[in-house]
Amino acid sequence: MNPRPLSPHLQVYKFFPTMFLSILHRITGVGLTLGLVAFTYWLASAASGEYDYGRALLLLGSWPAQVLLLGWLFAWCYHFVNGLRHLGWDASIAIEKAQVRRTRWWVVSIAGGAWVLLAWLLFCGRGISP
């Protein structure tokens, strides 16, 4: 009997930031799926009538729901930008190790900047009159 694992195990790998970004991409995909449930609830409440829509707005306007909405917004920004990087890889663009390392910082920077901008527009930009 062979005591070694048949395939490389987590103890064999050195943890790299690229691995974290890959894990985060999967986590944000699951988070977006869960956020779709809230979005569906909001749409169904709008279709159900004024009373149900008012209840949904009350629920989604609470601070815990607002924190979740910020999290889903981050998940969307990151998943979208990193998905574009994956599309580039599928087209054999920026697949060398040095390019992958460089583009990971672009992904984090662009996703973070988009998240801050969209969060400000959606949550803080309400009081600004044109």
Across all residues in the chain, what is the average pLDDT?
Answer: 89
Q: Are 107 and 81 in contact (CB under 8 A)?
A: yes
Residue 87 has pLDDT above 90, yes or no: yes
| Structure tokens that stand for 33 in this block | 């799926």
Q: Enumerate residues 6+ apart whose C-beta is below 8 A from 24.
A: 78, 82
Share of the chain above pLDDT 90, in %: 75
Question: What is the 3-class SS of the chain, one letter each residue?
Answer: CCCCCCCCCCCCCCCCHHHHHHHHHHHHHHHHHHHHHHHHHHHHHHHHCHHHHHHHHHHHCCHHHHHHHHHHHHHHHHHHHHHHHHHHHHCCCCCCHHHHHHHHHHHHHHHHHHHHHHHHHHHHHHHCCC
Q: List the domain boundaries for the chain.
A: 17-124
Closest CA to 76 of 33, 43, 126: 33
Confidence of residue 15 (pLDDT cuts 50, 70, 90): confident
CATH number of 17-124: 1.20.1300.10
Give per-residue pLDDT as tens, 102-123.
Answer: 999 999 999 999 999 999 998 8
